[in-house]
Structure 1
Amino acid sequence: MKNSVLVIFLLLGLTAFSQSVFNNYKYVVVPTQFEGFRGENQYQTSTLVKYHLTEKGMSVFYDNAIPEEVNTHRCSALFTSLDNQSTMFTTKVAVVFEDCEGNEQFRTRVGSSKVKQFVEAYREALKEAFSSLKGFKYTYQKPAEPAPAVLKFGDDVKSLPPASETPHAEEPEEDETVAVPPVAGDKEETTSLTMPEEKTEAVTLEQAIAQEEVQTLPLTASLYAQRTETGYQLVDTAPSIQFYLMETSMPNLYLAERKGQNGILYLKDGKWIFEFYQGNDRLQEELQIKF
């Protein structure tokens, strides 16, 4: 019973802390390609992070389409990154939020998944990571305007030279306070932008993914073909087996399997293309293979 109360207390404290952090920023920026990943939006990581943050009511933009206000006032935004702690058998990832100076402001819990298919694994792991924000709803709190400067003359000179030597001026009374409004230039000018009106209707994760343009890029490292009884296996430089290929009756056409993901591999215009289905979407990925 005591352990359950402690867990609830910690979760409530984490939610309160995250609320105080996120509410101080107007925007959140998500990279189109996280560090350590081979291509843009690989395994839909960028789409998933943006989706979960948008669900909390935040104004989220990719780093290739940020508002002009972020270009002129970078400190109005938080910047996201992924702490990828994945191993051979488990996908483990946490989402990190940093300010404009690179100081870490918040880090989610580490979400994990043992699903073999990478897209589903990252979807499950990121969902668990964002459970750190369960119950949190974003409300932007505009920074308070600086107070006007106050000058006190209580300890100033009590007597002035004769009027013939200096222009006549009234002597301020002791402890007199004068409120001086901020001078133009003393405060950074804030540019007010009219942002496009966002739709408020609920969007499912599947709809968000379908709306995103997912770009698949060639692998940065070559794969090497090794002969098997039924075809080939493709390994990287680790070496680690990435694909199993089975020959068909057609030349340069193979049945392909990558860690539970099935499709076909064929040669087109001198390039090897791995074609597979992800849900109802048919995707193509170019591979660099040395037979």
Structure 2
Amino acid sequence: MLLLVAVLSSTLLYSQKSVNNYAYVIVPTKFEFLKTADEYQLNSLSKFLFEKYGFTVYMDNEVPEELLQNPCNGLKADVIDHSGLFTSKLVVTLTDCMGTIVFESKEGKSKDKKYKVAYNEAVREAFEDVEALSYVYDGSAAEVATVPVVETAPEVKTTAVVAVVPEEKTAPNKELVNSEANSWIAKTKDGLNYTVYNNGNTIVMELLYTAIPDVYLIKGKDALLYKNDKGIWLISENDGAQMKTTGVMYLTFQ
């Protein structure tokens, strides 16, 4: 069975999974309901509390190479605001690389009138459920799709030639390759998943969210799209035995 198919199948069985199956937690630098990064120190507090209860935690701007290679081995943390008029209410969630919620806490509550105090009290109460998980990583999510790390940018002789042909002489998937002079547009409705259009406004592909920044599953393909450390978007496809870099994509995200 192809590797990414296995990942998708295991995701569909998420109800049988627990947080113990995942090695890492990724905390965003900014929660959606806040106006600025780490406002009220809520993101820093969340990272601290996850670490306190046994998790290995990274902010989304400091993801290590190991996690980039295994994006589905991490969970994305979030804090959701359910606040009412007089009570601050926060919920902590953990979401897998396919956007499925693996864990959701109770509502942490506070009636303090100061946001900083109220949010800190509420998030600490919500984390009581995280503590109750008694998290211990069991290593069962280790066999997931591996994104190859490209040390240097692929060599492109002209702007018209954008496909990278691996040493094994595997032909690039022409459906997934465009040119630097013909940048495609990626549009989103939910802020997570993207639809890619060519210059004729025809849908080329759909990109599915993962918990790792700048890493997407290509829907309907055993392939990933990811941005390397040089800022170049690369396509990596599964040939049934390993992941191979087969092309470059030029995208404008909207």
Query: Structure 2-normalised TM-score?
Result: 0.49
| Structure with max Cα Rg | 1
